Chains A and B, each alone.
Chain A
Amino acid sequence: MDFANQDSAKEIAARVVQAYENKTPLAIAGGGSKSFLVNAAAENAVELPVSGHAGVLSYEPTELVISARAGTKITELRETLSAKGQHLPFDPPAYTSADTLGGVIACGVSGPARPYSGAARDFVLGTQIVNGRGEILKFGGEVMKNVAGYDVSRLQVGACGSLGVLLDVSLKVLPEMQSRETRCFELTANTAIGFLEQLARKPLPLAASAVLPAGVADKVSVLVRFAGSSAAVQRAVQDEGGDVLAEEQQFWSSMRDLSHSFFQSPDGSGNLWRITAPAALPLDDFIEAIPGLQPQNCLVDWGGGLRWVRSAASSDEMQEAVASLAGQVVQCGPLGVQAYGKRQPLSRSTETMLRLQQRIKDSFDPAGILNPGVFGYEV
């Protein structure tokens, strides 16, 4: 399908053409709900509002594909799919009521299901974008398997709008899980991650896992979510035991949307840090490596791959520590207080990678007008 004829798409493309000719930097503005995950745009950047380009374009449940304009609200997508018993398996967050599909894809955010169901990138089938020359380009498509041309659609995921303005996105969707249950296990910090690794080796219907401070010294709560057919979930909880977590849906939503109390009441200087790290890294080693980290200020998601930390450490200290763990860090500030995040600069990559990324950026955006500064190319 060709959606380029949409007036709002043409309007966006025209704005980019103009900016390209005048070398005006643009700050792509969607719902504004994920600014704490990205750097502030260059000061002279002019806002390019895109959330008006919204609406579901096509959805056929038996094809397992939904296509929507980038300004479509995540909450609207969820409702549309849920009405047909389907969902987005990467379970994207809605931090506010304004979160858009474009923002989720551009920032590449996935919910707690990520390690077991896949990341945002894994479900993108096609995109239509405006590149930095103002050209409307279409990559991928609306079918499950497609290897024609380079996979530029998935390259957009997490690129923070630095390679193009997202117009439309097609995603693979799947049937909703028939049944869900969450079990809680009390463990020590040095055994929690190994416990999750053991579970992942078994053929269980795992859907999410987290480690929370238990409020008791030396103890943590390990939460494991099983989801799938009722038969499989029943079998799994029977075999694995643990305590039942009531209202499990609310709990995982609060992890996904960062509405859990852990995120709402940061201690100390109030800095919240989002750290992705090798999932296998034991929790006690991690706590020791992060400057000034108290066990009650660390929350683990993604089976160990994502670790939220509250700490008063400086940016440099934290980046240094996380780099030594082969991880990545974004300083998110106290939520709702600090408008923009601070990403680990790209300069921590190798020279070869740095040059390559800059050349890729140039190939899409030769004038460097798309979201300058947001992603951290300027090093």
Chain B
Amino acid sequence: MHSPQTHQGNSSSADLQVDKARQQRRLELAHELQSLVPEKAILSRPHELTPYESDGLTAIKQTPLLVVLPETVAQVQAVMRWADRQEVPVVARGAGTGLSGGASPHPDGILLGLAKFNRILELNPGGGYAVVQPGVRNLAISEAARPHGLYYAPDPSSQIACSIGGNVAENSGGVHCLKYGLTVHNILSLTVVTASGELLEIGGESPEQNGLDLLALFTGSEGMLGITVEIKVKLLPVPPLARLVMATFSSVEDAGAAVGEVIADGIIPAGMELMDNPAIRASEAFAQCGYPVDAEALILCELDGLEEEVESQIARVEEVFKKCRAETQHVAASDEERLLLWKGRKSAFPAVGRLSPDYYCIDGTIPRKALPQVLASMDKMSKQYELPIANVFHAGDGNLHPLILFDANKPGELERTEELGSKILQLCVEVGGTITGEHGVGLEKINEMCVQFNSATIEQFHALKAAFDPKGILNPGKAIPTLQRCAEFGAMHVKGGKLPFPELERF
């Protein structure tokens, strides 16, 4: 993301030569591709390429050599066979809403946009499934299934825009995944095009397949192992009733403890979200949804199921919150109010974005019991780096989204933000968590992979990748760092033989 420093002097003419060579290469590849896909499916002019230069992680911008927008599986296969022969890097892209740079283009490669694969191929209410193309939007599946009383459970906050193919690539979650699981728990089979252009069926009609079960491995593999061209998703009956309790607490610690107590009581809510005061204020200002802006912490707890079940659980949850020193409690009076309260939470990111010129979203997961410790440490770091942090937390499953507020126009602030983000992720690993709960590694968290995994494990990842993609043409440089990169990163963060933040407890 930092542009490489060029030597002083004749840099502009050197740049010009590089540009010329790239343009030449661009025209060559475009010419070769014309025999494989329709001409209109190849984008090569600067203004056509610009919209593809980044995904949701806009801090990283890179123009691809070409964008190719195939319309049929046969075209995807032809492009991959060609790319494999020519050893041209290929980066697949869905709706481009990913937050970790997973769909960030390769400078010497093509960006394979799957937006035209936007059809629901089969909706089978009896069998409880739908077969969809990868470019179908997440929410569009539930909308299509709704008349049959069914829906697709995983609901990432970006569900209006994000594509199901991208969900598979990132193993996306959502606010309801504590009860209903992640993408991996809600897909039945995949059709993928391999790096060498072959068609592969992963999973099938039978609950078990012959040989290794590759479905989970493929899910969340960030476009490194193949191109998903068809997805069979599970559809669930829409719960007859959903009700939402909003509770406020005088500290985030109290709220965190309350989440644990609900679970200890044997209740698995459909969703359980926690926000701190800065996040509450931002969301309320943005969505006017009725959050009490003076609360230190707020929990949204949704129960769903049969009416009798939901009513009895609501009463139990209120009881638990009361015991955990909730300051106020409110049960949404109508479905409209319930959805409005969710809207506040789901728009927390853009809401925080309005408070500050820029924000940077972190995606660590921690054991829930470590929440007070992690929040206290983040508070210290926030002061040290002079960068405010707002926190939203998928509290049920420990997935923490600190949002760092910064101004990229202030010199050095982006770099400071990235460093702070990296420190927070390392902290997540130290308390027994992970550097990414649902956004993926992509380019963004590739250094932190070195903190989470030892060299032998990283080498095993590379060997596994090579089993799928021997020439390394699929999304090269993403998700798994080279050991050399880890060595460099290690050298950086233990500079001077001193770990940063010696006051933090480690392991």
Q: List A residues at the B interface (Cβ < 8 Å).
A: 1, 60-65, 85, 108, 114-115, 118-119, 121-122, 131, 135-139, 141-152, 154-155, 157-159, 162-163, 174-176, 178, 197, 200-205, 228-232, 234-236, 276-280, 302, 305-306, 326-328, 343-344, 346, 348-350, 352-353, 356-357, 359-364, 375-376
Shortest distance from the beta carbon of B56 to any chain A beta carbon, whole Å:
15
Contact with A along B213-243 (1 / 0, CB 8 A): 1101101110011000000000001111000
CB < 8 Å neighbour of A141 from B150, B177, B433, B467: B433
Assess the B260–A62 pair: CB atoms within 8 A. yes
Contacts beyond the supplied A108-B213, A235-B306: 14 A-B pairs with Cβ under 8 Å: A61-B264, A62-B368, A131-B460, A141-B432, A143-B366, A143-B437, A147-B437, A155-B216, A158-B208, A203-B238, A205-B305, A205-B309, A346-B210, A356-B468
Shortest distance from the beta carbon of B97 to any chain A beta carbon, whole Å:
15
Assess the B194–A356 pair: CB atoms within 8 A. yes
A-B interface pairs (CB < 8 A), number: 258
Shortest distance from the beta carbon of A39 to any chain B beta carbon, whole Å:
13
Assess the B367–A142 pair: CB atoms within 8 A. yes
Closest A residue to B309 by CB, please name it: A232
CB < 8 Å neighbour of B207 from A65, A119, A154, A232: A119
Assess the A147–B305 pair: CB atoms within 8 A. no
Please name 26 pairs of A and B residues whose Cβ atoms are closer than 8 Å in the assembled complex, sorted by A.
A62-B260, A63-B367, A63-B368, A118-B185, A122-B181, A138-B453, A144-B177, A144-B365, A145-B394, A145-B438, A147-B436, A148-B449, A150-B217, A150-B224, A150-B461, A152-B217, A154-B216, A155-B216, A175-B267, A197-B127, A201-B149, A204-B237, A232-B308, A235-B306, A278-B206, A359-B466
Shortest distance from the beta carbon of B339 to any chain A beta carbon, whole Å:
19
Q: List B residues at the A interface (Cβ < 8 Å).
A: 125-128, 149-150, 170-171, 173, 177-178, 181-182, 184-185, 194, 198-201, 204-214, 216-217, 219-221, 224-225, 237-240, 260-261, 263-264, 266-268, 305-309, 311-313, 365-369, 394, 396-399, 432-441, 445, 449, 452-454, 456-457, 460-461, 463-468, 479-480
Q: How far is the CA of A232 from the CA of B436 in the complex (A)?
A: 36
Q: How far is the CA of A158 from the CA of B217 in the complex (A)?
A: 13
Shortest distance from the beta carbon of B170 to any chain A beta carbon, whole Å:
7
Assess the A148–B435 pair: CB atoms within 8 A. yes
Q: A197-B127, A203-B237 are in contact. Are A137 and B460 (CB under 8 A)?
A: yes
- B263: chain A residues within 8 A (beta carbon): 61-62, 64, 175
Q: How far is the CA of A114 from the CA of B224 in the complex (A)?
A: 30
Q: How far is the CA of A305 from the CA of B312 in the complex (A)?
A: 34
- B398: chain A residues within 8 A (beta carbon): 63, 143-145
Assess the B460–A231 pair: CB atoms within 8 A. no
Shortest distance from the beta carbon of A203 to any chain B beta carbon, whole Å:
4
CB < 8 Å neighbour of B457 from A118, A139, A178, A343: A139
Of all A-B residue pairs in the complex, the 5 with the closest CB atoms, nearest first, are A154-B216, A231-B308, A144-B397, A175-B266, A145-B437
Q: How far is the CA of A231 from the CA of B316 in the complex (A)?
A: 13
- A158: chain B residues within 8 A (beta carbon): 208, 212-213
Assess the A145–B207 pair: CB atoms within 8 A. no
Closest A residue to B235 by CB, please name it: A201
- B396: chain A residues within 8 A (beta carbon): 144
Q: A141-B434, A150-B464 are in contact. Are A118 and B181 (CB under 8 A)?
A: yes
Q: A150-B221, A175-B268, A350-B201 are in contact. Are A328 and B397 (CB under 8 A)?
A: no
Shortest distance from the beta carbon of B427 to any chain A beta carbon, whole Å:
14
- B208: chain A residues within 8 A (beta carbon): 108, 158, 276, 328
- B367: chain A residues within 8 A (beta carbon): 60, 63, 65, 142-143
Assess the B205–A148 pair: CB atoms within 8 A. no
Q: How far is the CA of A271 from the CA of B86 in the complex (A)?
A: 53
Assess the A360–B467 pair: CB atoms within 8 A. yes
Shortest distance from the beta carbon of B304 to any chain A beta carbon, whole Å:
9
- A149: chain B residues within 8 A (beta carbon): 441, 449, 452-453, 457, 461, 479-480
**Most B CB within 10 A of own CB, among A119, A231, A302:** A231
Assess the B464–A152 pair: CB atoms within 8 A. yes
Assess the B194–A352 pair: CB atoms within 8 A. yes
Q: A142-B367, A154-B184 are in contact. Are A147 and B205 (CB under 8 A)?
A: no
Q: How far is the CA of A146 from the CA of B399 in the complex (A)?
A: 9
- A361: chain B residues within 8 A (beta carbon): 212
Assess the A349–B464 pair: CB atoms within 8 A. no
CB < 8 Å neighbour of B209 from A279, A328, A356: A328
Q: How far is the CA of A178 from the CA of B316 in the complex (A)?
A: 14
Q: How far is the CA of A175 from the CA of B398 in the complex (A)?
A: 17
Q: How far is the CA of A62 from the CA of B212 in the complex (A)?
A: 33
Assess the A154–B454 pair: CB atoms within 8 A. no
Shortest distance from the beta carbon of A209 to any chain B beta carbon, whole Å:
13
- A343: chain B residues within 8 A (beta carbon): 210
Shortest distance from the beta carbon of A84 to any chain B beta carbon, whole Å:
9
Assess the B126–A280 pair: CB atoms within 8 A. yes
Q: How far is the CA of A328 from the CA of B203 in the complex (A)?
A: 12
Q: A202-B237, A231-B312 are in contact. Are A135 and B456 (CB under 8 A)?
A: yes
**Most B CB within 10 A of own CB, among A200, A326, A356:** A356
Closest A residue to B202 by CB, please name it: A353
Assess the B206–A138 pair: CB atoms within 8 A. no
Shortest distance from the beta carbon of A227 to any chain B beta carbon, whole Å:
12
Q: How far is the CA of A204 from the CA of B306 in the complex (A)?
A: 8
Q: A203-B238, A231-B306, A363-B460 are in contact. Are A326 and B207 (CB under 8 A)?
A: no
Q: How far is the CA of A1 from the CA of B433 in the complex (A)?
A: 10
Closest B residue to A377 by CB, please name it: B211
CB < 8 Å neighbour of A115 from B205, B207, B312: B207
Q: How far is the CA of A235 from the CA of B240 in the complex (A)?
A: 13
Q: How far is the CA of A281 from the CA of B220 in the complex (A)?
A: 31
Closest B residue to A238 by CB, please name it: B308
Shortest distance from the beta carbon of B213 to any chain A beta carbon, whole Å:
5
Closest A residue to B441 by CB, please name it: A148
Assess the A305–B206 pair: CB atoms within 8 A. yes
Closest A residue to B214 by CB, please name it: A155
Assess the A114–B365 pair: CB atoms within 8 A. no
Q: A145-B365, A147-B170, A346-B210 are in contact. Are A203 and B182 (CB under 8 A)?
A: no
Assess the B200–A353 pair: CB atoms within 8 A. yes
- B468: chain A residues within 8 A (beta carbon): 356, 359
- A108: chain B residues within 8 A (beta carbon): 208, 213
- A139: chain B residues within 8 A (beta carbon): 457
- B181: chain A residues within 8 A (beta carbon): 118, 122
Assess the B460–A152 pair: CB atoms within 8 A. yes
Closest B residue to A351 by CB, please name it: B198
CB < 8 Å neighbour of A201 from B125, B198, B268, B436: B125
CB < 8 Å neighbour of B206 from A137, A200, A276: A276
Q: How far is the CA of A349 from the CA of B201 in the complex (A)?
A: 10
Closest A residue to B199 by CB, please name it: A352
Q: How far is the CA of A289 from the CA of B17 in the complex (A)?
A: 69
- B194: chain A residues within 8 A (beta carbon): 352, 356
- B308: chain A residues within 8 A (beta carbon): 229, 231-232, 234-235
Closest B residue to A280 by CB, please name it: B127
CB < 8 Å neighbour of A228 from B309, B441, B445: B309
- B434: chain A residues within 8 A (beta carbon): 141, 143, 145-148
Assess the A349–B211 pair: CB atoms within 8 A. yes
Q: How far is the CA of A232 from the CA of B457 in the complex (A)?
A: 45
Q: How far is the CA of A305 from the CA of B206 in the complex (A)?
A: 7
Q: How far is the CA of A150 from the CA of B454 in the complex (A)?
A: 14
